[in-house]
Copies of this chain bind each other. A is one copy, B any other.
């Protein structure tokens, strides 16, 4: 994280507001999600798998921003809850296809809109649509500064996150 003592620096003063805003969001969001019986990471996986036939672990990792080591455990718990299912994928015997079960689909249809409705007012009360556009632009510039886009060959692999 970092924190208090960068207040004077004209650039690093952004750091604490960034962490504070993210953590405030994350903690409120996570607590709400857990009322629905899943963790925040599990929720991310469920949302990602909704409306898709299935995804490979590498794809899921890239979309959910969960690193590979973490993802295995998250999927284990979702599988033991009967929410997702791992199947082989034709053509590559290394990969697996992670899919929602019927129960998982039901859950998705409930939790996704519910949580979207829960979160929206927090953003709406803080920022106008125009401000959202501006902030999005700045945030993406910041992201790209820390994590330059791999210009070369498209990597479908873990490398998109790291390693």
Contact = CB atoms under 8 A, between A and B. Distances in A.
Interface of A: 1-6, 9-15, 17-29, 40-41, 43-44, 47-48, 50-51, 63-66, 112, 115-116, 119-120, 122-127, 129, 131-132, 134-136, 138-147, 162
B116 A12 contact: yes
A5 B47 contact: yes
Contacts of A5: 47-48, 50-51, 112
A1 B143 contact: no
Given A17-B139, A24-B143, A126-B145, A48 B119 contact: no
A14 to B, nearest CB: 5
Contacts of A123: 11-12, 14-15, 142, 145
